[in-house]
């Protein structure tokens, strides 16, 4: 009976994957340019939030500086294409590599600290990078940023940009899914639940935490580079505190202990940004209130709440 239930669950997930991917592929045929751009942003910010959740939801590490790698990916692509006149594919490939190197260096110092000390150290590194980009006006544009970033002509079409973001993000999300469902992911969960016990069990906790930090930085940089491609600009705000809080809000809204929760949370935040931003300049305050209300109503996030209900229903069915 239990085996049949697992098989049914596996086939259900497969059909859901196929159905969602099919819908995403035909989505540009169903909506306007504005909506296509909206969904493109959801995909990119969803990737950013899910890379952050590898740290928070799966490893139990709260970083206040994850936007560092989003900004590094964005500025790497922008600088290489505009300042160094490198080809598109070279600049895009270099962005996550630079993000990975930066995350290894920053993570080497951060993971040796626990709790709030880790969180504030990530914030300190974030502010250091922010200050360098802000002050180095001749190279990074300072507060003006880098505008008119070159992209291939075919990406100027919003539909092509959507498909490109989808083609890059889906393999990244699949890779993150494989990580969380692997033995490596099980170790991360053990460290999240009880790092001391994991250490006494013989696990190299710091190595696994650094690996998680580095992987998250890699995919955060991918999201940053993709965002520059659709906006054709890199601004200092991409690395600021507000950008760093956005994935945290997404995880809280959707459910940090679920895989797809941050993607749902990112969709809600982008929707609030677009809808409320058109009517009021205080949309961020309203978003904060909405996050507080949802956190009170659904302490485990929306998908976390639904997952809990589904597990209870499945246990009841198995008992029957």
Q: How confident is the model at residue 255 (pLDDT cuts 50, 70, 90)?
A: confident
Look at 281 and 108; give whichever has higher pLDDT: 108
Strand residues in 154-256 grouped as ranges (E): 233-234
Checking if the pLDDT of 276 tops 80, the result is no
- Residues 278 and 299: their CA atoms lie apart, in Å, by 29
State residue 93's pLDDT score: 94
Average confidence score pLDDT of the chain: 86
Name the band, by pLDDT with cuts 50, 70 and 90, for residue 9. low
pLDDT higher at 264 or 275: 264
- Whether residue 46 has pLDDT greater than 50: yes
pLDDT score at 25 = 85
Please tell me the predicted confidence (pLDDT) of residue 11.
58
Q: Where are the domains of the chain?
A: 34-243
pLDDT band at 313 (very low <50, low <70, confident <90, very high): confident
Q: Is the pLDDT of residue 3 over 50?
A: no
**CB contact set of 156 (below 8 Å; sequence gap of 6+):** none
pLDDT computed for residue 7 by the predictor: 46
Residue 278 confidence class, pLDDT cut points 50, 70, 90: low
For residue 198, give every residue at least 6 positions away whose Cβ sits within 8 Å of its Cβ, in sequence order, or none: 187, 190, 191, 205
The lowest-confidence range among 7-16, 93-102, 176-185 is 7-16
What is the pLDDT averaged over residues 75-82? 94
State mean pLDDT over 295-311: 78
Mean pLDDT of 196-213: 90
Residue percentage of the chain with pLDDT more than 90? 50
**Is the confidence at residue 1, as pLDDT, over 60?**
no
Mean pLDDT of 283-291: 74
**Whole-angstrom distance, CA of residue 273 vs CA of residue 287:** 8
Give the model confidence (pLDDT) of 166-203 as tens digits: 999 999 999 999 999 899 999 999 999 888 888 888 88
Q: Give the pLDDT mean for 91-104.
A: 95
At 123-160, the pLDDT tens digits run: 999 999 999 999 888 888 888 889 989 999 899 999 99
Dihedral through CA 19, CA 179, CA 267, CA 256, nearest 10?
A: 120
pLDDT at 4 over 70: no
Residue 86 DSSP SS3: coil
Residue 13: the pLDDT is 65
Residue 40, pLDDT score: 94
> Can you say whether residue 16 is alpha, beta or left, with left for phi > 0 and alpha for psi between -120 and 50 degrees?
alpha
Q: Kindly report which listed range (83-97, 163-177, 252-266, 271-285) carries the lowest average pLDDT score.
A: 271-285
């Amino acid at each position: 009976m239990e085996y049949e239930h697992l098989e049914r669950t596996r086939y259900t997930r497969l059909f859901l994957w196929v159905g969602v991917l099919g819908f995403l592929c035909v989505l540009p045929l169903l909506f306007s340019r504005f909506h296509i751009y909206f969904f493109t942003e959801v995909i990119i910010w969803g990737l950013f939030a899910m890379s952050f959740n590898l740290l928070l939801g799966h490893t139990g590490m709260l970083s206040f500086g994850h936007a560092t790698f989003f900004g590094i990916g964005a500025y790497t692509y922008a600088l290489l294409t505009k300042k160094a006149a490198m080809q598109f594919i070279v600049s895009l490939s270099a962005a996550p590599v630079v993000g990975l190197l930066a995350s290894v260096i920053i993570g080497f110092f951060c993971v040796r600290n626990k709790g709030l000390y880790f969180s504030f150290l990530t914030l300190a590194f974030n502010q250091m990078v922010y200050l360098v980009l802000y002050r180095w006006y001749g190279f990074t544009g300072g507060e003006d940023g880098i505008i008119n970033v070159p992209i291939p002509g075919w990406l100027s079409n919003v539909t092509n940009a959507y498909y490109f973001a989808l083609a890059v993000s889906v393999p990244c999300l699949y890779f993150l899914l494989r990580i969380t469902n692997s033995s490596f992911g099980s170790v991360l969960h053990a460290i999240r639940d009880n790092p001391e016990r994991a250490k006494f069990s013989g696990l190299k906790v710091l190595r696994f935490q650094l690996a998680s930090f580095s992987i998250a930085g890699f995919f955060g940089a991918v999201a940053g580079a993709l965002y520059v491609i659709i906006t054709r600009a890199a601004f200092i705000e991409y690395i600021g505190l507000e950008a760093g809080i956005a994935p945290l809000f997404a995880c809280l809204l959707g459910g940090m202990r679920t895989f797809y929760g941050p993607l749902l949370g990112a969709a809600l935040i982008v929707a609030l940004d677009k809808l409320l931003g058109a009517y009021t300049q205080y949309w961020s305050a309203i978003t904060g209130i909405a996050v507080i209300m949802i956190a009170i109503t659904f302490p485990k996030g929306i998908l976390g709440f639904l997952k809990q209900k589904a597990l209870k229903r499945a246990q009841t069915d198995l008992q029957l």
